[in-house]
Amino acid sequence: MNLTIRPETPDDYAAIAALNYEAFVQWHPAGFKAEPLLVDLLRHHPLYDPDLSLVAVCEGHIVGHVMLTPWPLVVLGTQQRGAILAPLCVAPRAQGQGIGRALVERVHEVGRQKGLALSLLCGHPDYYPRFGYRQRMFSLGGVRVSVTADDSSDPYSDRPVLAADVPWLAARWRQQCSEDALAIAPVEDVTAWYSHAPACDALMVLHGEHPVGYVRLGRSHPVTVKALLVADDLVGVLGHLLRGRHQRSTGEFILPADAAPREATGVTVLASDVATAEAFMICILEEGNAVVQRYCQRVQAGELDPAAISFPGMFDIDA
């Protein structure tokens, strides 16, 4: 097999979209396929690098594709240059010939050359460990709470996220999350903050003209909050959402673990909904990085719980 691996070009986009559809419709048949859209959305990311979006070409046809998107990460309270690997696909007719391995190993090599310290992904637990991915390295989900808001008044309003909100959002995120054990840090661009899925909303909550909160949430019950930043009055912000979205003053939320209160008037913690699975993996690309090594070692030893993280808004498309 004469296989060539190279960076994608704009002329490849249609073939890559078709390949992602073909590969993933075989894996999980359904009417909607997120992967072709996710690839396109990630190309709009400010840190998108075509050198890290690779195609495998055999006899003039694209038979494989992998995408590694750079992303700033926080690891044990330190800033790290990281990345998210997603998606990876090989044409069904070409699977089992080592094409996926060649793509992952090559994109890891390029990532190392560009100074990336680690890569994380949600992927098949029997496949990715062969490339150095360590399982059960982070968690998704959060804490299920019941909220009872004050019926007397609602001083808040909400609107969609705007580019003008990004400085407030970035500053608030740093105050809330910059010391986390593991977190995906936002880039200072509005694309990191709005949701790309029809079943989700991303809202700024205002007191007058001043931001007091940000929430990215699904339209389900209980309400699943994918990201939450609140300067003050968590119960008031959640109560506003209940009134405006569900026309009631009591209800349940699943809050991100980093935003869930331990104690607050009007909030009752019902249960932990944090999910840790073998599919949530990290690969250390910079072997000499002591901070990333220490995080993985502590999690594997049971000294540190896998950090609960929130993925950026473009990944809502796969929700």
The range of the structural domain enclosing residue 42 comes to 3-140+276-318
In order along its 319 residues, the chain shows pLDDT tens digits of: 689 999 999 999 999 999 999 999 877 666 678 899 999 999 999 999 999 999 999 999 999 999 999 999 999 999 999 999 999 999 999 999 999 999 999 999 999 999 999 999 999 999 999 999 999 999 987 888 888 877 777 899 999 999 999 999 999 999 999 999 999 998 889 988 999 888 899 999 999 999 999 999 987 777 889 999 998 888 889 989 888 776 777 888 888 877 766 667 778 888 887 778 899 999 999 999 999 999 999 999 999 999 999 999 889 987 6
163 and 44 in one domain? Answer: no
Q: Which residues contact 246 (CB under 8 A, 6 or more apart)?
A: 221, 223
Is the domain of 194 the same as that of 228?
yes
Residues 206 and 149 in one domain: yes
| Residue 112 amino acid letter | R
> Are residue 133 and residue 154 in the same domain, yes or no?
no
- Residue by residue, DSSP assigns 244-307 as HHHSSSEEEEEEETTT--SSBTTEEEEEE--EE-TTEEEEESSTT-HHHHHHHHHHHTTSSPPE
- Name the region of 77 (left: φ>0; alpha: ψ -120 to 50; beta: rest): left
Domain CATH code at residue 100: 3.40.630.30
Instruction: Residue 149: name the closest of 244, 219, 224 by CA.
Output: 244
Same-domain check for residues 102 and 158: no
Q: Which of 137, 170, 162, 148 is nearest to 284 (CA)?
A: 137
What is the Cα 270 distance to its own chain's centre?
A: 25
